[in-house]
Amino acid sequence: MCLYRNMGMEYLDMYLVHWPFKLKPWACYPVPKESDFEETLDLESTWKGMEKCLELGLCRCIGVSNFSTKKLDSLLQFATIPPAVNQVPLSLSLSLLLMLFRFAKNNLNCLVRKDEDGDIETVKKK
């Protein structure tokens, strides 16, 4: 909370679990090596902590980013508060379309962001 106050804020608008995995402390971002990944991520305790932040008014909503439908289904098994959003990269794949339909069916929001590598042509080549 001191960090918020130092920046002149009372709360965050949105607090996200950015990736459904955990990196070791020395890992280099944005392109870590395979050996930089931890074996497990305790997503349940992470999510419970985020729910507590929401209850304390430290954020207005909580969500996830880069979660597959399988990872999201796992989260929904124990979440008291479902994620407000899943932020995913723009993709021209069938899997993104299926994810969008699944989110709509479950009344969840899916925020699609433009790939950081640039325009849609760059994304098509991936």
Q: What is the tens place of the pLDDT at every residue in 51-89?
A: 999 999 999 999 998 888 788 889 989 999 999 888 877
Buried (b) or exposed (e) across 55-72, using 16+ Cβ within 10 A? Answer: eeebbebbbbbbbeeebb
Least trusted range by pLDDT, from 5-9, 102-106, 115-119: 115-119
Q: Which CATH superfamily is domain 2-125 in?
A: NADP-dependent oxidoreductase domain (3.20.20.100)
